[in-house]
Structure 1
Amino acid sequence: MLREGGSAGRRRRKGPSRIMNRNELLKIAENWFSSQNWKPFPFQKQTWNAFLQSKHGLLNAPTGSGKTYALWIPIVLDYIRQNPDYKTKHKPGLKAIWITPLRALSVEIEQAANRFAQDIGSGLTVGIRTGDTPQKIRTAQKKKMPDLLITTPESLQLLLSSKGYDKTFKDLNAIVIDEWHELLGTKRGVQVELALSRLKTISPKMKIWGISATIGNLQQAREVLLGPGSEAFENSVLIKAKINKKIKVSSIIPEKMETFPWRGHLGMHLLDEVIPIIRNSKTTLLFTNTRSQCEIWFQRILQKYPEFAGELAMHHGSINKETRLWVEQAIRDEQLKAVVATSSLDLGVDFAPVETIIQIGGPKGVARFLQRAGRSGHRPGEESVIYFLPTHAMELIEASALQKAVKNTAVEDRVPYLQSFDVLVQYLTTLAVSDGFFPKDIYPEVKSTFCYQALSDDQWEWILNFITKGSQTLQAYDEYKKVEIEENGKFKVNNRAIAMRHRLQIGTIVGDAVLSVKYLGGGYIGTIEEWFISKLNPGDVFTFAGKNLELYKVKNMQVIVKKSKQKSSRFPSWAGGRMTFSAQMSELLREEMFVAAGKSHKSVELKALSHIFKRQKKESIIPGKDEFLIETFKTREGYHAIFYPFEGRFVHEAMASLLAYRISLLSPITFSLAFNDYGFELLSDQPIDMQQVFDNNLITSEYLMDDLQKSLNATEMARRKFRDIAVISGMVFTGFPNKMIKTKHLQSNSQLLFSVFRDYEPDNLLFQQAFRETFEHQLEEGRLLMAMERIEQQTIVWKDCEKPTPFAFPIITDRLREKLTSEKLEDRVKRMMAQWENL
C-alpha cells in the first residue's frame, strides 16, 4: 500500500501543474517585494493588474520610482501563468522586448530584470542587443534568442532586416518602450511606430506598453504609441503614478553682479561657490548644456582644486564607451565625489549615492530640468536637490520661472512627426532586404500609425515607385533601383551589396561626420566632429575627454594625437550645442518678466536682480503683460533696434529675418542680425524709421509664410535639411565603418539631388518634405505664428534710448562672440561696461 501511495505520489508530481489565478500570481510579486524590504506603489500594482488583464497602456511615472519593476514583473508573471511547469520545462524563444533610447540604460534594465527573474526561479534569460554588442554575442543570439531582449529602435529595425524575422517574433508576448517621451517628436519615434505596426500583425497576442516621464500631451503620446483608433488603443489604459516627488531648487546667486549681464564666462565666476556644495554631498552631478562647456568645467575645477584628482570625472556622448561605463559604475560604487556631464546622464540610470545636482546655465526646458533634478534622491520618497548656477545674471529670471514650474509640474508637449517619407522609404527597404513584402499587406499597417494616418494611395504608389525605380528623374541610374518586384508581386532586395549597404545605414540620427580620436601609440579616446578638426593644423593643442592633446595628423577618418603639457588649448565645440527655449519655458519667462515689472511679491532671484531692473527702468521699461518692447539706440557700430518677444532663439531667428525683409521693402537698407532667447537685434549703418514700421503694420501675422520664405532663403535652409532626408532614405551612402564619406562630399551629393528635384521634379515627396520640416521643426512655424498673433494684441512700446540697456547687452555681446576670440571679447566687454556704467 505504501508502495502504491508512493507511486501515485510520483505520478501526481509528473502531471501538469495547475494554472495560477491572478491573485496567486500577484502574491509572488508581493512576496518578492517583501523579501527586498520594499512595498509596491499603487501604480505598480495597477500596472501589474492591467497587464495581466491583457491590456495595453502608457505608464507615466517619475524617474527613480520603480518603473522597470512595474512592467517587467507582470511579463514574468504572465509567462508563469502560461507555463505552469516553468520550473522544470523552460519554453525557449523571445517573449519580450524592451526598447530604450539610450544604450547606457540597457545595463541598468538588465540588472533589475535579472534580479527578479532569478530570485523567483523563473528560468528566464535577459540579453542586450545594441550598437555596442559584440558580434560574437549577436551571432549567439541569432541561434538562440534570450527571453527578454533589451535593445534600441535602430537594433530592432536591424532585426526586421534579418531573414525569417517573423519566426523570431512569433511568440512575442510584450514590448515595452522606455522613455517614450524622449522618442516622441523624433524620427526614432516614427521608426518605433512602424516596427510596432509590423509586430502587431506577426505577434497578435503582444501587449504594447510605453513608459514616460511627465509631458504635456500624455493622451496624445498614448495615441501615437498604440495607433489612433486601433484595437490596442481601444483596449488601453493610462496609468499615472501619484508620487509626490519633493524637489528642492536653490539658486546660486553671486554676491556681486554686473549691471550689464553677458554670457561670456560660462558661470566660471561662481566656481568657488560650487566647491562647498560638492564637498558637503556624497556625490554631485554637474549638468552642462554642451559638451564643450562640460570639458571646460572639468578642466577648471581640476586646475583650481587639484585635490579632486581621482574623485572627479566627466561623462558625455563623445567619450569612448569603456570610460562612460567605468564612470557610471564608479558613481554606483561611491568612488567619485563629482561628475561633470551633459544630457548623456539625463535618462533613467539609477545612481543611489547621488545627493545633489548642479545645473550650469538655463536648461531651456522644464521637462529637462525636472529630469535632471530626479537624478538625485533617486529612490522612492527621497527629496531631489538641484542647484541652479546662472552663467549670466539674466538666467536668474529663468531660475525664478523654474521654481514655479517645479511647484506646478508645468511641462512641455512633444509634437509628433507626420508624413516622414524618408523613414518610410528606409523601413520598406528594410522589409525588402529581409523576406520581402507584399504592398497590399503592408499598406494598411503603415496607415494604422499616427505618423502616416493621412497617407494617400497616390503617395503610397509614389513611395513604391521610388524604391523600385528611383523616382521619375533618377530612373536612368541603376543605383537607385534597390527593390525588385518578383513575379508573384513581392517587393524584394536580391542584391547582396545593396542589402549590406542598407543594413549599415539603418537609423535616423544624422549628425556631422565624426572622427575617431586615437593616440599615436594606439588607444581609443572617443569621437569628435569633423568640422571642428578641419579648423586645426598639426601641432595645435585641444582639450578632449579631460586631456590636453596635440594634433599629429588626420588619416582615414582618424584623428591621431599625442599628449601635450601645454597649458593653453582650444576646447572643441559640437554642432547642436545651441539649444532654444521650449514654448512652455518662454511663457514662464514672460510671466516672470511681468512680475519683475509690477509690484507683486518677488522671488529671491528677482530681488537679486533689482539693480539691473532699476537700471533697465531708468533707461527704458520692463514690459508688462500687455506690452511689447522695442528699443533703439546708436553706438559706434551703428544704429541698433532691439525687439523683445521672449520666445526662444529659433523663433527670434525667423522673426528677425522676417522683419528685416519687410523693412527693406520700404526703403533699401542692410542689416546684421543677432538673437538670443530673450529677443533679437537689427543693426544697420542708417537709422530705421520706426514710425514707418508701425504705420505699415509690419509686425503682423498676415502673409507670414510668403514673407518668411522670401526673407530666410528657405531654399537654402531646406537644402541643408535635405541632406538628412537623403541619408535616411538611402539616396546617399554614408560609407563603410572606418571609411566614412566626408561631410562635404555627402553635402555635395545631396545638393546635386536637391537641385535635380528642384528643377525637374518639384512634386518629389522627399524634396517637399525638406521644406515642410524646415518650417515645422526648425523654424517652429506654429510658435512663430502664435507669437506674431500675441504681439498684434499687445501695445507696442518704442523707447529711443541714449545707450544700450541691461536687457540689450547680452544680445549685443552674443553678436560680437561670432567675430572675436573669448579673450578679445572679454576685454571688449569690460571696456563697453566701463563706458556705459558711468553714463
Structure 2
Amino acid sequence: MDARGLPPELNDWFAARGWTPRRHQLDMLAAGRAGKHALLVAATGAGKTLAGFLPTLSELIEAPGEGLHTLYISPLKALAVDVQRNLLTPIDEMGLDIRVETRTGDTPHERKMRQRARPPQILLTTPESLSLLLSYEDSFLMFAGLKTVVVDEVHAFATGKRGDLLALALSRLQTIAPGLRRVALSATVADPDGYRAWLAPHGDIDSVALVEGEKGADPDIAILLPEGRVPWSGHSGVYAIPQVMAEIETHKTTIVFCNTRGLCELVFQNLWKVNDLQLPIGVHHGSLSLEARRKAEQAMADGRLRALVATASLDLGVDWGDVDCVIQMGAPKGSSRLLQRIGRANHRLDEPSEAVLVPGNRFEYLEARAALDAVEAGELDVDTFRPGALDVLAQHVMGVACAAPFDADALLREVQGALPYSALDAETFDRVLNFIADGGYSLRAYDKFKRLTRTPDGLWRVTKPGFVAQHRLNAGIIVEAPMLDVRFKNGRRLGKVEEHFGSQLSPGDSFFFAGMALEVERVELTDVVVRATAKPARIISYTGLRLSITSTLADRVRRFLADPGEWARFPDDVREWLEVQQRRSRLPEPGQLLVETFPHEGRHHLIVYSFEGWNAHQSLGMLVTRRMEALGLKPIGFVANDYALAVYGLEKIIDPAALFSPDILEHEFVDWVQGSALLKRAFREVAIIGGLVERQQPGKKKTGRQVTFSTDLIYDVLRKYEPDHLLLKAAWADARARMTDVGRLAHLLDTAAEQMVHVDLDRVSPMAVPVLIMIGRETVAQGAAEDAMLIEAEVLAEAAMRVD
C-alpha cells in the first residue's frame, strides 16, 4: 500500500493511465478505511463513481473473497448498465477476479435466480429491485456479509417515494449487516446536511463524512436566438430547429434534452426533416421499449450517433465521453436540473461543458437567463424533505413479512432509523399493520385483503403463500398511467403509449412514436398493432404533471422584471416588451402580486402574474373559476403557464381581491378535490403501492381499465363507510402535496391580499400575450396549427405593444 492508502494494483493502474487520484477520491478512500459513512458532492466529470468504488476495490484487492461485498443503487436502469460498463474496464485492466453484475426489472429471471444463490461481489441495482431482494427468505444469508452500499445521484430520489423505499431498505440492510457502510454521490446538492441526515442511520448526521470535490471548469452556456428574435408564444423551441441542426453538424456528439416525451418525439421529427446531411440521430425516452433504449445507449457509447433526442431518462450520470454539446429545448425549469444536464457534455473536470438553451417564448428567455445566472453563482434548487409516505411503508412491511415473521416493536425501531419515518409513532404504525392484516374496517369481511396474521407467539407472518407471490409480482413505487403496448404485427414491440391516448386511436390513424410514423392496424385489449407509414402523423401525447419552474428561478425572473438595469443584457425585442409593459401597465416588484383586468374579443380577462409554476396555477384556475361562478361572474375558462394564470368570463371583475383569500383552500379546494377525479387518481396510486389492488396476477396482467375499476370501487366504499381509512389519508396527502403544488398555492393565497396590485386596462398588455395566446391551444402545436398560432400571437402582440 502506498502513502495515500492505495493498493499497488490501483496505484499502478492510475500511473499507467497517466492519472493522479484526485483529493476527493483519496478522501473517500480514507473514509472507507475508517469505516465512516460518506456523502460525496462533486462536479460531473470529477470521477465520483470511481471515488465511491475505491474503498470497495481496495478491500477486494487486499482480501479477495466470494459473496456480496457492495451494492450500488441507481435511480435509472440505464445508469446501472452504464456504470457496469465503466467499472469493468479498470477491473479487467488490473486483472482482478471481481464479478460485477446488474439486477433491474429488465434482468432475465434465470440470472436473478443465480444472483441470489451465488451473488457477485458487486451488484448494481435500483431501489425497487433491492426491495424485492429483501422480500426473499434467503436475503438474510445474501446480505449478511454486505460491507458497503453506494447510492448514486442521491438527489434524484431521496425526497420522493422512491427515496422512502430506499431509506427503509437501508434500515433493513443495517439490521442484517450492522457494520454496513453507507455512501451517497451527487453533483447537485444545495443542502448537504439534509442529505447527510437522510443517509445516516437513525439520523446520526455526525457519522456521515462530507467530502467535497474540486470545482470544475465553468460551463460555456449560450442562449440560442434565431435572427435575434424570441417568439411570443410556445414552449418547445421548435422554431429554432434549423439552428439546432447546425449545432449538431458542428459538434461531434450532441444530446438534445426535452422536458416531455411528446416534445421529444416532436423535436426528433422536426430535426429529421432538416437533416440534409443524413446524420445518424436517435431518440430516447422512458416509454420506448427496453430494446430501443439499449440500442440507442449502445450506439452512443460506441460513438455511432451524432445526436440523441432525450428526456429526463438521460438526466443522470450516463457517461459518454464523446458528448461535446448539450441542447435544452424550452426552459430548464431549475438550475440544478440544468447543471445536471450540462454535465452530460465532456465529462472532464478541467474542460468546460458546452450547452445551448432554446427558450420557447419571452418569459422562457428570462427563465433561461435566470438559470444561467444561477449556475454561474452556484445557486442550486433546494430540495424539501417530507415525512415518509404510508403506502410505501405498507409495501415495505409486507416485503419484510414475505422474508420472515417479524416482531412489531423491533420493526418499528428499525423503520424509525430511516429519516423519512423517524417521527413515526406506534399508533400510526399499528394502523399500517392492521391495514395489511385485514384491509381496514370496511374490507375485513373479504379474505383477499387479509394478508398478515398475528400468531400466539406475538409475531406477524404472511397469512398464506399466495400473498407472497402477489407481493413480489406487484411491488414497486413507480405507478404509471395505464399503458398499451405498441407493436408490429410480427410481435416486435416499440414501447408503450398511455391507454388514454391509445383508446382514441382507430384503424388508419397515424402517429409518431420511437422516431417513426406509424399507422394503426388495430387496437386490442392491451396492444396497439401498427405498421410503418409515410402518411402525415400526429404527435403522441402523455398525461401527468409538467415540470414547474422552481422557486429559485422564479425569484430571479421577478428580480429581472423589477430592475431595468438588467434589461441591457436582453435582446432588443425582449427589452422593448418589458419597456412597453412598464408604460402601458406596470411590472411587479418582488413581493407584489400583479393582477391585470381588460376586455378582449367580447370577454373580460383577469391575468395573475404569480410565478408559482404551472401545477399550482392549474389548481388556482380551478378554484378561482369556482368562486367566480358562486359570485355570478360567469367564468368561461382559464389557461396557465409557469408565470401567470389567465381567467376569462362574461362579466367584468371589479374586485379581484375577493377571488383570492386563504379560505379558498378550506372551502373550494376541499370541495373541488373531493368532487374531482384528482383524489380518485391519487387513491389508485396509493392502493397499488400499498398492495390493496394488484396490477398483475400470475400469468396475466390486468388492463388499466380493470385496475381503475377495482380502485374506484374500493374508493367509493371507503369514502362512504370509512372516511378516515389509512389509504384515503395517504391519497389526500398525495393530492395536496404532489399533484397540486399546494404549498406554493397556500403561500400565494396567504399573501395575496396585502401584496396585490390591480391594474385595469382598456386592452391586452404586452406581458399577457404569452399566456393569452394559449386559450384553445393547450396541446403542443405542430404544422399548420403552429403557423396559425404564431400569426395570431403577432396580431395580438401588435395590439398589446401599441402605445397611444
Which TM-score tier does this pair reach, normalised by the shorter chain?
over 0.9
CA contact (8 A) 2:595 2:608 kept: yes
Deviation string 1:3-28 (CA, Å, 9 cap, x unpaired) is xxxxxxxxxxxxxxxxx698554555
> Which one of the candidate residues 172, 187, 199 is aligned to 2:161?
187
Counterpart code for 2:562? F
Deviation string 1:431-474 (CA, Å, 9 cap, x unpaired) is 12222322122111012211222222211221111111221111
> Which one of the candidate residues 599, 602, 616 is aligned to 1:651?
616
Per the alignment, residue 187 of structure 2 pairs with 213
Deviation string 1:704-728 (CA, Å, 9 cap, x unpaired) is 4445324555764222211100010
Per the alignment, residue 647 of structure 2 pairs with 682
Cα distance in 2 for residues equivalent to 1:647 and 1:296: 27
Q: Are 1:152 and 2:154 matched, yes or no?
A: no
Mark the CA change 1:606 to 1:522 in structure 2 (over 3 Å): closer, same or farther: same
The more displaced of 600-609 and 444-453 is 600-609
CA contact (8 A) 2:161 2:388 kept: no
> Which one of the candidate residues 536, 548, 557 is aligned to 1:580?
548
- Measure how far apart 1:681 and its partner are: 1.5
Q: Are 1:286 and 2:256 matched, yes or no?
A: yes
CA contact (8 A) 1:184 1:415 kept: no
Instruction: Map 1:85-234 onto structure 2 (within 5 A).
Output: 86=64, 91-230=65-204, 233-234=205-206
Counterpart code for 2:737? E
CA contact (8 A) 2:69 2:148 kept: yes
Deviation string 1:216-248 (CA, Å, 9 cap, x unpaired) is 222111211224434xx4322111113233211
DSSP 3-state at the match of 1:451? helix
Mark the CA change 1:526 to 1:835 in structure 2 (over 3 Å): closer, same or farther: closer
DSSP 3-state at the match of 1:807? helix
Counterpart code for 2:232? P
CA contact (8 A) 1:715 1:771 kept: no
CA contact (8 A) 2:773 2:789 kept: no
> Which one of the candidate residues 210, 227, 230 is aligned to 1:255?
227
- Measure how far apart 1:792 and its partner are: 4.7
Per the alignment, residue 48 of structure 1 pairs with 29
Cα distance in 2 for residues equivalent to 1:569 and 1:801: 42
CA contact (8 A) 1:73 1:116 kept: no
Cα distance in 2 for residues equivalent to 1:376 and 1:52: 33
Mark the CA change 1:138 to 1:812 in structure 2 (over 3 Å): closer, same or farther: same
Counterpart code for 2:742? E
Q: Are 1:365 and 2:334 matched, yes or no?
A: yes
CA contact (8 A) 2:769 2:793 kept: no
Cα distance in 2 for residues equivalent to 1:372 and 1:312: 19
- Measure how far apart 1:388 and its partner are: 0.7
Deviation string 1:729-767 (CA, Å, 9 cap, x unpaired) is 111111248843232332232122222222221221221
Per the alignment, residue 11 of structure 1 pairs with none
Counterpart code for 1:367? S
CA contact (8 A) 1:215 1:411 kept: yes
Q: Are 1:341 and 2:306 matched, yes or no?
A: no
DSSP 3-state at the match of 2:437? helix
Per the alignment, residue 245 of structure 1 pairs with 217
Per the alignment, residue 457 of structure 1 pairs with 426
Cα distance in 1 for residues equivalent to 2:183 and 2:211: 11
Deviation string 1:581-623 (CA, Å, 9 cap, x unpaired) is 122222222122223xx2x143543545123223323432222
Mark the CA change 1:670 to 1:834 in structure 2 (over 3 Å): closer, same or farther: closer
Aligned length: 799
DSSP 3-state at the match of 1:804? coil
DSSP 3-state at the match of 2:589? coil
Q: Are 1:558 and 2:519 matched, yes or no?
A: no
- Measure how far apart 1:192 and its partner are: 0.5
DSSP 3-state at the match of 2:773? helix
- Measure how far apart 1:496 and its partner are: 3.1
- Measure how far apart 1:267 and its partner are: 2.1
Q: Are 1:482 and 2:451 matched, yes or no?
A: yes
Q: Are 1:497 and 2:466 matched, yes or no?
A: yes
The more displaced of 452-461 and 532-541 is 452-461
DSSP 3-state at the match of 2:227? coil
Cα distance in 1 for residues equivalent to 2:281 and 2:190: 36
Counterpart code for 1:42? R
Per the alignment, residue 617 of structure 1 pairs with 582
Cα distance in 1 for residues equivalent to 2:631 and 2:511: 48
Per the alignment, residue 59 of structure 2 pairs with 78
Structure 1 unaligned spans of 5+: 1-19
Mark the CA change 1:398 to 1:515 in structure 2 (over 3 Å): closer, same or farther: same
Cα distance in 2 for residues equivalent to 1:170 and 1:99: 18
Deviation string 1:631-656 (CA, Å, 9 cap, x unpaired) is 11112251101110112112222333
- Measure how far apart 1:34 and its partner are: 1.6
Mark the CA change 1:415 to 1:28 in structure 2 (over 3 Å): closer, same or farther: same
Counterpart code for 2:777? R
Deviation string 1:114-136 (CA, Å, 9 cap, x unpaired) is 23334444422111111111122
Per the alignment, residue 722 of structure 1 pairs with 683
DSSP 3-state at the match of 1:462? helix
Per the alignment, residue 811 of structure 1 pairs with 771
Larger radius of gyration: 1
Per the alignment, residue 308 of structure 1 pairs with 278
Mark the CA change 1:520 to 1:738 in structure 2 (over 3 Å): closer, same or farther: farther
Structure 2 unaligned spans of 5+: none
Per the alignment, residue 596 of structure 2 pairs with 631
CA contact (8 A) 1:433 1:494 kept: no
Per the alignment, residue 635 of structure 2 pairs with 670
Instruction: Map 1:771-790 onto structure 2 (within 5 A).
Output: 771-790=732-751
DSSP 3-state at the match of 1:255? helix
Per the alignment, residue 439 of structure 1 pairs with 408
Per the alignment, residue 13 of structure 1 pairs with none
> Which one of the candidate residues 605, 625, 629 is aligned to 1:640?
605
Cα distance in 2 for residues equivalent to 1:430 and 1:283: 44
Mark the CA change 1:680 to 1:163 in structure 2 (over 3 Å): closer, same or farther: same
Per the alignment, residue 800 of structure 1 pairs with 760
Cα distance in 2 for residues equivalent to 1:584 and 1:469: 45
The more displaced of 503-512 and 619-628 is 619-628
Counterpart code for 2:249? R
Cα distance in 2 for residues equivalent to 1:293 and 1:744: 27
Cα distance in 1 for residues equivalent to 2:575 and 2:427: 61
DSSP 3-state at the match of 2:324? strand
Deviation string 1:308-330 (CA, Å, 9 cap, x unpaired) is 25x11111112222232222222
Mark the CA change 1:658 to 1:494 in structure 2 (over 3 Å): closer, same or farther: closer
The more displaced of 219-228 and 198-207 is 219-228
Per the alignment, residue 320 of structure 1 pairs with 289
Cα distance in 2 for residues equivalent to 1:464 and 1:365: 39
